[in-house]
Amino acid sequence: MPAGPHDRVGPRYHLPLSGERDFSRRELLAALGWFSRRRLITVAGIRFELLRRGAPERHYLLIHGDEETARQVLLARMQRHRPGIAFLVTHQQRLVRWGALRFDPNRILSGAGAERNLRALNPQLPEADLKLAMEWLERERGRLIRTLLPKRGRLLVALHNNQPGYSVHHEIPISDETALNDPQHSHDFYLATHPEDFRRLVRSPFNAVLQVRKPVDDDGSLSRLAARVGARYVNIEALLGSLAKQTRMLEWLADDLGWRDPQDEAVPAS
Ligand SMILES: [Zn+2]
């Protein structure tokens, strides 16, 4: 029986939707573009998809799976071939399920935060199992932090969505500095953990807060961790569904002002 197009093996592929045209492997990968760079990793029971373009100097993060607007904003940026590495949680819910455990992936970045979160979300869990879960998270935490934080001095940008009931006004009392540049839209704001980043964000048309020195409750979130270890971290908070707004906030930070990292500026232009 003569081989039909679907029987082809080896380096050539037939794509049924592309008419009669055959694609070589190289053409296929080129057609898939950035998809060819997809990677999946699981750390602390949290599964991330990694999208990378160019040097991974700047990290971008979606850590809550149900924050769909933030996911779309970040995906669109990476599809436009902007440089950096993006970590997108593949879960569709806010909480991660690991066996019988449930936890918020943005509340396990300290021992105290993890214990509080595990107790709150798994009230039926026997004390001995809770202890085992804590030990497991303790072991995983270092790898999670090393994965998400970029090289020292580089910026980590996290995208979150909120809903009515939470806004910048909840953060102001625990912030060191505040810039209400867009008071009509209190759901949309930057949260920075480094004074230098905050000083740039103050020049944006958007709200911004700085949280670095003021003693606040350690809730096990990434912003608390970043403030504690002196990492550069900016969270872009926007109301769920505010796609255009969150896109503008990300672009302002990442592109519009030609935002460069301090090391870049230390290098004299040739
Ligand atoms: Zn979130």
- The CA distance from 121 to 220, in Å, is 14
Tell whether 269 is covered by a domain. Answer: no
39 CA to centre of ligand 1 in angstroms? 22
Which sign does the torsion angle of CA 215, 88, 76, 257 carry?
Answer: positive
Longest dimension (CA), the chain: 77
Tell whether 116 is covered by a domain. Answer: yes
161 CA to centre of ligand 1 in angstroms? 6
CATH number at residue 133: 3.40.630
Question: Which among 202, 213, 229 has a CA at the least distance from the CA of 176?
Answer: 213
106 CA to centre of ligand 1 in angstroms? 8
105 CA to centre of ligand 1 in angstroms? 9
Tell whether 6 is covered by a domain. Answer: no
62 CA to centre of ligand 1 in angstroms? 8
Statement: residue 91 has pLDDT above 60: yes
User: How many separate domains does the chain show?
Assistant: 1
The larger pLDDT score, comparing residue 257 to residue 206, is at 206
- In this prediction, residues 239-259 reach a mean pLDDT of 87
The per-residue pLDDT for 183 is 97
Question: Which among 94, 86, 97 has a CA at the least distance from the CA of 49?
Answer: 86
72 CA to centre of ligand 1 in angstroms? 14
The per-residue pLDDT for 81 is 83
Instruction: Count Cα neighbours of 227 within 13 Å in the Cβ-side half-sphere.
Output: 26
130 CA to centre of ligand 1 in angstroms? 24
- Cβ proximity of 89 and 46 under 8 Å: yes
By percentage, how much of the chain surpasses pLDDT 90? 70
269 CA to centre of ligand 1 in angstroms? 38
Residue listed under structure tokens 């991974």? 56
Instruction: Give the dihedral of Cα atoms 71, 77, 78, 79; nearest 10 deg.
Output: 100
The per-residue pLDDT for 161 is 98
Tell whether 234 is covered by a domain. Answer: yes
- The CA distance from 52 to 150, in Å, is 13
* All residues with CB under 5 Å from ion ligand 1: 64, 160
Tell whether 38 is covered by a domain. Answer: no
The per-residue pLDDT for 217 is 84
**Which of the given ranges, 159-168, 212-221, 256-265, has the highest pLDDT on average?**
159-168
77 pLDDT tier (thresholds 50, 70, 90): very high
Tell whether 40 is covered by a domain. Answer: no
Statement: residue 163 has pLDDT above 60: yes
The per-residue pLDDT for 33 is 54
Which sign does the torsion angle of CA 104, 106, 107, 110 carry?
Answer: positive
- The CA distance from 222 to 167, in Å, is 18
7 CA to centre of ligand 1 in angstroms? 47
Statement: residue 90 has pLDDT above 90: yes
243 CA to centre of ligand 1 in angstroms? 15
96 CA to centre of ligand 1 in angstroms? 13
What does the mean pLDDT of the chain come to? 85
Q: Is 191 helix (H, G, I), strand (E, B) or coil?
A: strand
Statement: residue 266 has pLDDT above 50: no
104 CA to centre of ligand 1 in angstroms? 9
The per-residue pLDDT for 267 is 40
- The CA distance from 237 to 191, in Å, is 8
30 CA to centre of ligand 1 in angstroms? 34
Domain that holds residue 178: 52-257
- Would you tell me how many other CB atoms lie within 10 Å of the CB of residue 163? 11
**Which of the given ranges, 8-12, 157-161, 252-256, has the highest pLDDT on average?**
157-161
Statement: residue 50 has pLDDT above 60: yes
190 CA to centre of ligand 1 in angstroms? 13
63 CA to centre of ligand 1 in angstroms? 7
Global pTM value: 0.82
Instruction: Find the range with the poorest average confidence among 120-134, 167-181, 220-234, 243-257.
Output: 243-257
The per-residue pLDDT for 4 is 38
64 CA to centre of ligand 1 in angstroms? 5
Statement: residue 17 has pLDDT above 90: no
29 pLDDT tier (thresholds 50, 70, 90): low
Give the pLDDT confidence of 52-72 residue by residue, as tens digits: 988 778 999 999 999 999 999
213 CA to centre of ligand 1 in angstroms? 22
The per-residue pLDDT for 28 is 55
